[in-house]
Amino acid sequence: MFEASNRILAVLCGLAVCASAAVDQCKPIGWVTRSGRTSTEFNVTGGGNSTPITVKTFADLQKYAKDSSPRVIYIDGTLGDGWSGTSGSRLNITASNKTIIGLKPGTLLKAPIHITSKASNIIIRNIVIQGPGSNADQAWDNLTIEGESKNIWIDHCEFWDGQDGNADVVKGSDNVTFTWCIFGYKKKSTHNLSNLIGSSDNEPVSEGKLNVTYMFNWWKAANQRKPRCRYGNVHVVNNLFTGDASITNGTDVLGVAAGHMCRVRTERNVFINENNPIYTGVANGTGVNEVIDNIFTNCSGNTKGTGTSFTPPYEYTSFMLKASEVEAAVKANAGATLKSPTECDANYVEPEPPTPDKQYQTETGTVTGGVSESSNGGYHGDGYVNFDKGGDVVVNVKVDTAGQYKFDIDFANGSSEARSLAVSAGLDTATTSFKTTGGWTVWETAKVLVNLAAGENAVKFATVGGNDGPNIDQFDVTLVKAAEKDSTEKPTSIHTKTAAVVEPSVYRVSIFDTKGALVRRMNVESAKVGDVAWMTRGLPAGLYVMQLKSANTERRKFIAVK
């Protein structure tokens, strides 16, 4: 039986990535999905179902980011003129219900983002912001969320060389999640300070707020603030922290730091070449940092936690990785790596899964005057039957009960007129007309009633009057009415109890890549769900997420295809 384990799908989703398509990289997770510090759910939609607008100028981007309408905005190309200190291009988001997505991987925005004025329900995705380099002059951060803004999801973005910082959440803002982002520095400086939560120990507007989740992110060569927090309940889970002495040497390097009234849950992260991964020097007697199942490799300084933090009011354990899996997953997927906005944008709708195969595939039968072929798409199994004039195919059908059966036959008829087939078994024949379907790759279903005997039946599908027939693919048979028993038969014994008929347990198996894209879907009997090699046969080598659903269960796990 499939082992239930804690993995992300996304795809995501989710889900993101997952998402979303289930729980994947395309689906928001963490504090962004809650209202305040409660378990009340908040549906993060950004611009929702608004028709996407593609912008090619910074002026248009700013216009739509500030107007009062819900917007889904695609950024096409590099926008903005750059900035220094507190002058230059700056994207101000002052209205709610916005989704802003880079159209291509690595979409560069040469402007910091400022979310303020109580803006809410915002999604920012697939964007790179390259700052001019850090300084201690209280210059613009690459991203600032302030002014009591809330329910902000920052996903698959990159923040490099921010001036005062890379991405700050301050002044009463709340319910923010960062997923699959990179926070890094490429230039050496004493002020390479990355993520600040709460700007002062005297910030009453932030009491009970500043609740932030960091999941699947990568801090690269940042000196401090990874993050450094005040007031909030901050969840730091499944992130990667890597030091670089060529950038940080000679400076104070401090990791996750819980400050005034901040409670941090630091859970299943990986720290590599980091100094003081867990910094307690700013706790002031009120900061708490609970450290749970992290990996510290070649780290110096403190790795121990202090006290008990909080229990997140949102579900996350079903897609949380083991700490041993974090480094590979984050390195493979963090950053502005999405190939298109439809991988994860607010308008993305997962395509309907293919319909399952029916009981019988006609191409497995004996074809006379025709051919089994696969040149026209949309069929099931290995192909379909294309009749010559006067042709037929015989398929063996086995049933337990004699009687009248409904045949559901998938067919395509790309000709300009209806075509007929005679469907026969034993002495019973039904001739049926198959209408035009508008193309040879357009498959529809016709229903035919035919009597079958108990046991094996040689069912013949034959063209009529020396004419052509439709192409037929697959069919199901369903008992409509059992045959009446001969009255001369001896009555069978009547049992007061009959055994319940139990359908075999079947799972719906979906396989996604780690960016949340569906790559395979099938129905699998429970006896086979442990056969990963069979279910992934033909997929390229790499890391995938497998989701299994049945009537009462849903399970996910990472799988590796070699």
Could you report the per-residue pLDDT of 318-328, keeping only the tens digit for each?
Answer: 889 999 999 99
pLDDT category of residue 54 using cuts at 50, 70 and 90: very high
Q: Could you write out the DSSP letters of every residue in 314-363?
A: S--TTTPPPHHHHHHHHHHH-SS--SSGGGT-TT--PPPPPPPP-SEEGG
The one-letter amino acid at 140 = W
In this prediction, residue 12 carries a pLDDT of 37
Task: State the pLDDT confidence band at 224, using cuts at 50, 70 and 90.
Answer: very high
pLDDT band at 5 (very low <50, low <70, confident <90, very high): very low
pLDDT-derived band of residue 344, with 50, 70 and 90 as boundaries? low
Res 486: pLDDT: 52
Torsion angle of alpha carbons 281, 287, 288, 291, nearest 10°? -40
What stretch of H or E contains 273? none
Query: What is the structure's pLDDT at 514?
Result: 73
pLDDT of 503 above 60: no
Q: What percent of the chain has pLDDT over 90?
A: 71
Give yes or no for residue 384 having a pLDDT over 80. yes
B/e letters for 69-88, b = 16+ CB within 10 Å, e = fewer, are ebbbbbbeeebbeebeeeee
- pLDDT band for position 561 (50/70/90)? confident
Q: How far apart are CA 143 and CA 169, in angstroms?
A: 8
Identify the pLDDT of residue 516: 75
Cα–Cα distance, 441 to 439 (Å, whole number): 5
Amino acid identity of residue 77, one-letter, is: G
pLDDT above 90: residue 508: no
Mapped onto helix, strand or coil, the DSSP state of residue 84 is: strand
pLDDT tens readout for residues 446-455? 999 999 999 9
Tell me how far apart the alpha carbons of residues 149 and 235 are, in angstroms, rounded to a whole number: 19
Q: Which pLDDT does position 304 carry in this prediction?
A: 97
Give the integer Cα–Cα distance in Å for 438 and 414.
5
What's the mean per-residue pLDDT of the chain? 87
pLDDT of residue 553: 56
Q: What is the pLDDT of residue 533?
A: 82
Average pLDDT over residues 468-473: 96
pLDDT number for residue 30: 97
Quick one: pLDDT at residue 521?
A: 83
Whether 489 shows a pLDDT value over 60: the answer reads no
User: Which of 2-16, 41-55, 59-73, 92-106 shows the lowest mean pLDDT across its residues?
Assistant: 2-16
pLDDT reading at 381 higher than 70: yes
pTM for this model (two decimals) = 0.62
Tell me the pLDDT band of 495, cut-offs 50, 70 and 90: very low
Local confidence band at 409 (pLDDT 50, 70, 90 cut-offs): very high
- Confidence band, pLDDT 50/70/90 cuts, at residue 350: very low
